[in-house]
């Protein structure tokens, strides 16, 4: 009976190594582009930047949330989120209220204007995704989703080890 081998000891074909390297490069380029987008457009006058839009999306999907929960959901500091909420509140896209049960807690919710903003941008991004992914079949998209979930798992593991 053959001995069980450690995964680290298994030989990797040059083709597999090249494919994994290509995937890693594509992921890094996509990640850099997203990071650049977040940093570049956070403060663009009266337009909602990508980082702020992430807050709006969370509120759109989950409904009213405590400010601290919102910060945790988008993996940003409470101070950063508070500053972004100031701008979103001034633009009348979100409304902040104190919890009646505990006045220390601030609850954030989308306004009607905020909901319309999310729906308009969501439609625009849906169009972009459809165009960019044209020619790929459903199975390829599902495989891509599985690959991205595994990559996500790598980074979650890294955070636990740190």
- Domains of the chain (ranges; CATH) run 13-161 (1.10.10.10)
Q: What is the value of pTM for the model shown? A: 0.71
Choose between 93 and 51: higher pLDDT.
93
Mean pLDDT of 15-20: 91
Whole-number pLDDT of residue 41: 56
The total of other beta-carbon atoms located within 10 Å of residue 84's CB is 25
pLDDT tens across 107-162, in order? 999 999 999 999 999 999 999 999 999 999 999 999 999 999 999 898 888 777 76
Burial 23-52 (b: 16+ CB within 10 A, else e): eeeeeeeeeeeeeeebeeebeeeeebbbbb
- CA nearest 30: which of 140, 108, 144, 157? 144
CA dihedral 83, 117, 96, 42 (to 10 degrees): 0
| Band of residue 3 on the pLDDT scale cut at 50, 70, 90 | low
Mean pLDDT of 32-55: 74
Write the CA distances from 82 to 50, 75, 90, 108, integer angstroms: 16, 13, 12, 11
Whole-number pLDDT of residue 32: 85
pLDDT tens across 120-135, in order? 999 999 999 999 999 9
């Amino acid at each position: 009976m053959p001995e069980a081998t450690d995964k680290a000891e298994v030989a990797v074909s040059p083709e597999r190594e090249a494919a994994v390297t290509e995937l890693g490069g594509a992921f890094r380029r996509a990640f850099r582009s997203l990071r650049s987008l977040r940093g570049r457009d956070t403060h663009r006058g009266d337009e909602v930047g990508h980082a702020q839009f992430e807050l709006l999306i969370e509120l759109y999907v989950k409904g009213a949330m405590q400010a601290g929960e919102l910060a945790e959901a988008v993996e940003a500091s409470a101070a950063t989120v508070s500053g972004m909420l100031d701008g979103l509140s001034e633009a009348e896209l979100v409304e902040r209220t104190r919890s009646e049960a505990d006045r220390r807690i601030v609850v954030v919710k989308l306004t009607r204007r905020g909901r319309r903003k999310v729906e308009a941008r969501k439609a625009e991004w849906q169009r972009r995704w459809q165009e960019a992914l044209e020619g790929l079949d459903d199975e390829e998209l599902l495989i891509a989703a599985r690959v991205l979930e595994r990559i996500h798992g790598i980074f979650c593991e890294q955070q636990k080890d740190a």
